[in-house]
Amino acid sequence: SNESIKVDIRVIAATNRDLKALVEEGAFRDDLYYRLNVANIMLPPLRDRKEDIPLLIEHFIDKFRAEKQKDINGISDTVLARLMHHTFPGNIRELENIIEYGFILCPGGLIQENHLPDSFHLEESNDSLDKGLLGDGLSLEEIEKQAILGALQRNKWKKMMTCRELGISKDTLRRKIERYNLENPLEVVT
Q: Residues of the chain with pLDDT > 90: what percent?
A: 39
Domain 46-179 sits in CATH 1.10.8.60: yes
Task: State in Å, rounded, how far the first CA of the chain is from the last one.
Answer: 66
CA angle (115 as vertex; 175, 86 as ends), nearest 5: 75
Decide: pTM greater than 0.85: no
CA 109 – CA 99 distance, rounded (Å): 14
At residue 124, the pLDDT reads 43
Q: Is it the case that residue 57 has pLDDT exceeding 70?
A: yes
At residue 163, the pLDDT reads 86
**Do β-strands 138-139 and 72-75 pair in parallel, antiparallel, or remain unpaired?**
unpaired
CA 181 – CA 166 distance, rounded (Å): 18
Section 16-29 average pLDDT: 91
For the chain, which residues make up each domain, given as ranges? Answer: 46-179
